[in-house]
Each structure stands twice: as C-alpha cells, then as structure tokens.
C-alpha cells in the first residue's frame, strides 16, 4: 500500500521573504565630458532612484531606475515622492518572492508610476534570486545567450565627426550603432552616408528620430537613406500617431520600423501590433514596470512576430544589469543592447562599475543581479 503524502500549503513549502524595510535614495551621478544632448534636453548628470529592500532574516535586493526628461512619464522627483510616500509603505510585510501579489499592491497604492514600481519589483526579484542562490536570468527561466553585445551611439553631429565616432566605436569592438536624426533630412542623410562609408558593411546601423518628424518627412528620409542598408528606423513619427507609424512602415522602402516612445504598457504594445505600426519594439525594464511585466510584453511581441530591442541610454549599474539579464533570456532580443548608461557616467553607485567598453559582456555567474552598493558612493552622489 503506497504512502499518502498530504499536500502542503505554499506558506509551508518555502520560507516567506517578508519585506521589513524599503530604503529609497536619490542620486545624481555626473556624465562624461560636457554631458549629452538629445531631442529633449541636455544632460550633465544622471538623476536616478535607488531602492534597497530588506526582508526578514536580513536578505536584501536592489532596484534602480533612471528617469529621463522626454522619455519618462514622471520626473525623478515625482518618482522619488511616490516611492517614499505610497509605494514603499504599501509593500511592507508583503512576500518579496510573490511578485504577482507585490504588483497588485503597487497598483493599489497608486495608478501609473511604472518607473517607480519597477524599482521595487526589481529589488524584490534581485532579493528572491539571491535567496535562491541563482542569477536573475536563471530565476527568469534561464539564459539563451552567454555573452551580450551592445549598441554604440552617434549624436546629431556633422558628417565628418559622425564618421570619426563610428570608426572609434568599431575599433573598440562595437558592431552596431544608433545614429540620431532630426533637424533636417538632408543633413541626416549626409551623416548616415558618412558613417556607412567609415565602417563599411561590417556594422549594423540604426537611426532614431525620437518622434521628432511627421510621417511624410520620415518617409522622405527613409528613401534618402535607403542606399545605406539600415537595420531599423526608430520612432519615425509622434508617439500617438500609430496610423502615421503604420504608413511609414508601408511606404519606407522596406526598412524595419521600431516603436519606442509609442510603447509604455501592455495595452500600448497591443495597440501598436493591431495598427501594424512596427516591425520591432523597444522594451525597458524600468519603463514597462519591472521584470515580470516586461517579460510578458516580450512574449506578446514575439507571438505577434515582432523582434525586440532591450535597453535605455542613460542608466546606472543596477538597472543596466537588470536589462542585460532579461535580454539574455530571449532569442527574440536583437543583438546590440541599448543599455549603455555606464559608458556615459563617470562613476556609479555600485562597488564595481560595469565595463562595456569593448561592446560585449559575459553574463556574471553570481546570485541575483550580481552587483552590490558602494555605501560611500551612495552618500557622495545623494541629492535631497
């Protein structure tokens, strides 16, 4: 007669990682050189939020978000206020390992604020993976890539300067680059032409309009740069003009169209898919509200036949590593991650600054996100 084993409740089968403390820090880390100019603002520092979640027994996890004007729905100040006033108090006592319940609590605390919610969810995933003794990519289902490659960037600069930057990136080991466009399609064409001539056919080239052109202008630009074999054209039309994006996709001469500013939550991704507005979508762990929400959107995109690019341009080490580890879990993610923030900052708040200088990085084997806070640097770069 076989023995009967009574089913055990979840609470009995594994320890609860009850959240006891959520610490929230605002930091401002200087950027290299004189800073960076994009379609929205010139930045000389990266203002970010860092979250440390401590569970019963002392287990900790780290989260980090890097809001940027023009890209993020809320400012860094608004995100910090939401974290301290509503989100952190709302998860005290919750099980850090139960992300479904955690996300429900975060949504109950306040609508919106996906960036801020991502900081807490990221920290809880890090904590849970550390408690299990596995890297976050293993916690998320396993890595399908052991080495990740990264995407260089070239700003709105004269053609000869763009060509020199492209050669520099290529010599360092980068095999893909994004060229910013805007302010005039003939100048854009000349910049793209100069870069292609500088690197030949060995580098994948992307262009990004940051929603700065209307669909008519974007179509004209697409035809002007058609001879230069672009990998993709990012956000060629305003974020809310999905019909315009779809028209660019139909009439741009075959270049793949990527939606970035048009993508926020799962509903916006589905709207892009229904409109036929993109071939590729860009996802960011921060912008989409954390690992689990982003992974769900990644699966939806793949099911719809859309490839994905992962990453945001200005980020500290914790958030950067989060995107690296998520990207490693899916073959649907295009090589050339855009989480290259550590290349733009003079320092970080981690004990070891990520070195992306050669354009590739091997996945770290350690538990969680594989990064630790440097308390001295956290204090040095804090702002009220």
**Active-site residue among 117, 180, 282, 287?**
180
26 close to 168: Cβ distance less than 8 angstroms: no
Round to whole Å and give the CA distance between 172 and 163. Answer: 14
pLDDT digits (tens, 9 = 90+) for 25-75: 999 999 998 756 655 567 789 999 999 999 999 999 999 999 987 778 999
DSSP 215: H
Question: Does 37 lie in the same domain as 61?
Answer: yes
Cβ burial of 337 (10 Å; 0-12, 13-18, 19+) is: buried
Q: How far apart are the first and last CA of the chain?
A: 68
**Active-site residue among 47, 117, 284, 287?**
284
Position 341 pLDDT exceeds 60: yes
Instruction: Answer yes or no: 344 catalytic.
Output: no
- Domain assignment present for residue 379? The answer is no
Question: Does 183 lie in the same domain as 114?
Answer: no
Could you give the angle at which helices 159-172 and 185-199 cross, rounded to 10 degrees?
Answer: 40
Position 134 pLDDT exceeds 60: yes
Residue 5's contacts (CB-CB under 8 Å, 6 or more residues apart) are none
Strand 60-65 to strand 45-55: parallel, antiparallel, or no bridges (unpaired)? antiparallel
- Domain assignment present for residue 346? The answer is yes
Question: Does 232 lie in the same domain as 320?
Answer: yes
Question: Does 333 lie in the same domain as 287?
Answer: yes
Planar angle of CA 286, 292, 296, nearest 5 degrees: 105
Choosing from 77, 106, 135, the residue where a domain stops is: 135
Question: Does 158 lie in the same domain as 99?
Answer: no
Question: Does 100 lie in the same domain as 148?
Answer: no
Average pLDDT over residues 266-290: 98
DSSP 40: S
- Domain assignment present for residue 374? The answer is no
DSSP 84: I
Question: Does 37 lie in the same domain as 185?
Answer: no
Instruction: Answer yes or no: 284 catalytic.
Output: yes
pLDDT at 19: 97
Question: Which stretches within the chain are classed as H helix?
Answer: 10-13, 76-82, 88-91, 99-109, 114-132, 136-139, 159-172, 185-199, 215-224, 242-251, 266-275, 291-303, 317-327, 375-380
Give the residues across from 49 on adjacent strands. 26, 65
Position 14 pLDDT exceeds 50: no
62 close to 123: Cβ distance less than 8 angstroms: yes
Instruction: Supply the CATH number for residue 209's domain.
Output: 3.20.20.120
- Domain assignment present for residue 378? The answer is no
- Domain assignment present for residue 75? The answer is yes
b/e code 186-220 from CB counts within 10 Å (16+ = b): eebbbbbbbbbebbeeebbbbbbbbbbbebebbbe
DSSP 313: S
Position 267 pLDDT exceeds 90: yes
Choosing from 135, 167, 202, the residue where a domain stops is: 135
Distances (CA, A) of 104 to 64, 110, 251: 20, 10, 42
- Domain assignment present for residue 52? The answer is yes
Average pLDDT over residues 230-252: 98
pLDDT digits (tens, 9 = 90+) for 149-175: 999 999 999 999 999 999 999 999 999
pLDDT at 225: 98
CA atoms within 13 A on the CB side of 213: 24
b/e code 46-65 from CB counts within 10 Å (16+ = b): bbbbbbbbbbeeebbbbbbb
Choosing from 81, 115, 135, the residue where a domain stops is: 135
195 close to 205: Cβ distance less than 8 angstroms: yes
**Residues above pLDDT 70, as percent of the chain:** 94
Label residue 8 by pLDDT band (50, 70, 90): very low
pLDDT at 71: 77
Structural domain harbouring 110: 16-135
């Amino acid at each position: 007669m076989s023995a009967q084993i009574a089913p055990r409740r979840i609470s009995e089968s594994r320890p609860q990682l009850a959240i006891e403390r959520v610490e929230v820090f605002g930091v401002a880390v200087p950027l290299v050189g004189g800073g960076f100019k994009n379609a929205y603002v010139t930045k000389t520092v990266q203002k970010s939020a860092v979250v440390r979640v401590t569970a019963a027994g002392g287990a900790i996890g780290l989260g980090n978000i890097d809001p940027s004007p023009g890209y993020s729905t809320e400012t860094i100040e608004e995100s910090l206020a939401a974290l301290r006033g509503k989100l952190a108090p709302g998860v005290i006592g919750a099980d850090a390992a139960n992300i479904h319940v955690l996300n429900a609590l975060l949504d109950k605390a306040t609508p919106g604020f996906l960036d801020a919610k991502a900081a807490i969810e990221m920290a809880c995933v890090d904590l849970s993976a550390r408690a299990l003794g596995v890297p976050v990519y293993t916690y998320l289902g396993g890595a399908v890539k052991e080495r990740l490659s990264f995407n260089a960037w070239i700003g709105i600069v004269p053609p000869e300067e763009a060509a020199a930057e492209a050669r520099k990136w290529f010599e360092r080991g980068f095999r893909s680059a994004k060229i910013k466009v805007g302010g005039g399609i003939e100048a854009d064409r000349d910049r793209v032409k100069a870069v292609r001539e500088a690197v030949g056919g060995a580098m994948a080239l992307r262009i990004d309009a940051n929603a700065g052109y209307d669909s008519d202008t974007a179509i004209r630009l697409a035809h002007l740069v058609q001879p230069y074999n672009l990998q993709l054209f990012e956000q060629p039309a305003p974020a809310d003009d999905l019909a315009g994006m779809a028209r660019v996709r139909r009439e741009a001469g075959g270049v793949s169209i990527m939606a970035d500013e048009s993508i926020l939550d799962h509903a916006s991704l589905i709207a892009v898919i229904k409109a036929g507005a993109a071939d590729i979508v860009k996802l960011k762990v921060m912008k989409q509200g954390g690992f689990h929400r982003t992974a769900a959107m990644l699966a939806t995109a793949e099911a719809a036949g859309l490839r994905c690019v992962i990453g945001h341009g200005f980020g500290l080490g914790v958030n950067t590593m989060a995107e690296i580890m998520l990207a490693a879990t899916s073959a649907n993610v295009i090589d050339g991650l855009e989480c290259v923030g550590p290349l733009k900052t003079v320092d970080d708040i981690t004990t070891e600054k990520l070195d992306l200088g050669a354009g590739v990085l091997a996945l770290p084997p350690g538990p969680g996100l594989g990064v630790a806070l440097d308390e001295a640097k956290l204090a040095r770069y804090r702002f009220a």
